[in-house]
Amino acid sequence: MIKDKLIIALDVNTLKEEERLLDILSPHVQVFKVGMELFYSCGAKAIDLVKKYDKDVFLDLKFHDIPNTVYAASKAAVKFGVYMFNVHASGGLEMMKKAVEGAEEESEKLGVARPKILGVTVLTSMDKEALKKTGINKSAQDQVLNLAGLAKEAGLDGVVASPEEIIAIRKSAGKDFLIVTPGVRPEGSEADDQKRVATPKEAFQRGADYIVMGRPITKAKDPVKMLEAI
């Protein structure tokens, strides 16, 4: 079951390193996350490599631009053949609607399933003080719920949310809204720079559909043993 619920973050900057991780982990995991570090280092080859292993890609580039540009970028994400990608919910309702529209049009044209589109609500690095400096006078939790509601209204499939936000989002957005949760750490492992962590078990109990994990597995001496423990 964990095979389909755990997304591995491929946070490396060479195809060689990516290949090493895929060699080790692809027999055990279905979805791999290609984020800014890998994509901006290696480009579309990083996506193609995951697909060569018959695995699915979560393209984590957090689009945030005017609606027309995000519409075009979403079409490009479909052309890459990714399984999932994301946009910043703070880009607004119109921008998110255009992401869905672009992805739908391109998927129809190519005769493929539309990728799942997630909204990034409030970055987990932002707290109340940091939000206030950007002009938002709300708690992070309230702003997360506000943006999750907007993402749902725009037709997005779900959101990326920290372990602390899962329960409130599940309650307000319902059971069919995907919740993808980073900041997950197996019991006894380092938190690294993640501030609010939960174990995989806790994240799923709270209602996460997928968990995203990078360093606890990719930097482990024996990544497969770590996976087995999870």
Q: Looking at beta carbons, which residue is closest to ligand C5P?
A: 214
Q: 152 or 185: whose CB is closer to ligand C5P?
A: 185
Selected from 46, 214, 223, 227, the binder of ligand C5P by CB under 6 A is 214
The radius of gyration computed from the CA coordinates of the chain, to the nearest angstrom, equals: 17
Q: 58 or 71: whose CB is closer to ligand C5P?
A: 58
Instruction: By CB under 6 A, tell whether 87 contacts ligand C5P.
Output: no
Instruction: By CB under 6 A, tell whether 212 contacts ligand C5P.
Output: yes
Transcribe 102-171 into DSSP letters. Answer: HHHHHHHHHT-PPPEEEEE-S-TT--HHHHHHTT--S-HHHHHHHHHHHHHHHT--EEE--GGGHHHHHH
The residue whose two tokens read 């018959």 is 54
Q: CA 230 → CA 24, 53, 82, 215, distances in Å?
A: 16, 23, 26, 14
Q: 77 or 106: whose CB is closer to ligand C5P?
A: 77
Taking a C-beta distance cutoff of 8 angstroms, is the pair 7, 32 a contact? yes
Taking a C-beta distance cutoff of 8 angstroms, is the pair 167, 194 a contact? no
- Check residue 38 and report its DSSP letter: H
Selected from 11, 164, 165, 209, the binder of ligand C5P by CB under 6 A is 11
The residue whose two tokens read 């055990």 is 28
Instruction: By CB under 6 A, tell whether 123 contacts ligand C5P.
Output: yes
Q: How far apart are the first and last CA of the chain?
A: 11
> Quick one: which segment of 64-72, 131-139, 168-176, 206-214 binds ligand C5P (CB under 6 A)?
206-214
Q: 35 or 115: whose CB is closer to ligand C5P?
A: 35
Selected from 9, 21, 150, 211, the binder of ligand C5P by CB under 6 A is 9
Selected from 215, 220, 226, 230, the binder of ligand C5P by CB under 6 A is 215
Instruction: By CB under 6 A, tell whether 61 contacts ligand C5P.
Output: no
> For residues 19-48, which are near ligand C5P according to CB under 6 A?
35
Q: 75 or 170: whose CB is closer to ligand C5P?
A: 170
The letter for the amino acid at 182 is: P
Instruction: By CB under 6 A, tell whether 163 contacts ligand C5P.
Output: no
Tell me how crowded residue 208 is: count the other CB atoms within 10 A of its CB: 24
Q: What are the residues binding ligand C5P (CB under 6 A)?
A: 9, 11, 35, 123-124, 160, 162, 182-183, 192, 194, 212-215
